[in-house]
Amino acid sequence: MLEAGTKAPEFTLKDKDGNDVSLSDFRGKKVVLYFYPKDNTPGCTRQACGFASAYEEFKNINAVVIGISKDSTSSHEKFAAKYNLPFILLSDQERQAIEAYDVWQEKKNYGKVSMGVVRTTYIIDEDGVIEKVMKKVKPDTNAAEILEYLRK
């Protein structure tokens, strides 16, 4: 896991519409960068809907929300349409950002060990430095916890 105070690794990935999006596009704004395992799964859907519900509040405090998973751009397009997700979803099928942010890790599920994305949120400051790391976040409270932190 990367630590607070570290320069956030740069990346350029495709959004749900196939456009290139780079972290550097958001210099001057806070970036809420959250990594999640898979579109349309119960926890990931609840987490995304939490960010969608709070989206206007994030905009009002000059924060950008970006979700990243290994899903394809077409999967993201369907996921965003189904749940009216107004924020950026990026496809990282090659695990460029997922590995750079050290969220591709061993996971245990019902005794089975596999590799996968560990649900993690990074808050990146206006200068591109990691301000806060939230590990193994809970999908139902992630957006609210970040808003509470950012309002301080």
Q: Which residues pair with 122 in a beta bridge?
A: 33, 133
CA distances from 16 to 49, 100, 125 (A): 17, 21, 24
φ/ψ bin of 109: left (φ > 0), alpha (ψ from -120 to 50), beta (otherwise):
beta
Residues 13, 32, 44, 103: which is the catalytic one? Answer: 44
**44 has catalytic annotation:** yes
- Catalytically active residues, by annotation: 44
